[in-house]
Amino acid sequence: MDDQKPPAHQVYLTADQIYTCGNCHAHLGRNEDIISKGFQGRHGRAYLFKTVHNIALGPKEDRVLMTGLHSVADIACIVCQSVVGWIYIYAFEDSQKYKEGKYIVEKAKISKENFWLQKG
């Protein structure tokens, strides 16, 4: 996990439905990037995303979740630094391996925005 990334700058997504930071409305993910909406976060319902943009990773830590022990890192909006969820870096249980490299985003921390009008 030591790959060098260029300095963070905000990415703007184009899709009909985009999930944004609930605090500053930076674009985080597209509706089609959601794998499951049936997850549980620290603040209630959470979504599992395969890709999330405009986020920075916090320190890696081992955390015992409902589905067992995982290595995770918090993910925070690069614009306002609010923590919106976490990434699964490593799952110790074979049945949970599919979550590695995927992102949990707390529904309570994000907004859903529709861009129907932009289609003309």
Q: Give residues in contact with Zn ion (CB under 5 A).
A: 21, 23-24, 26, 77, 79-80
Shortest CB 28 distance to Zn ion, Å: 8
Beta strands in 7-109 (DSSP E): 17-21, 27-30, 34-41, 44-49, 55-65, 68-77, 83-91, 103-106
Measured from the CB atom, the residue of 36 and 111 that comes closer to Zn ion is 111
Measured from the CB atom, the residue of 19 and 39 that comes closer to Zn ion is 19
Shortest CB 40 distance to Zn ion, Å: 22
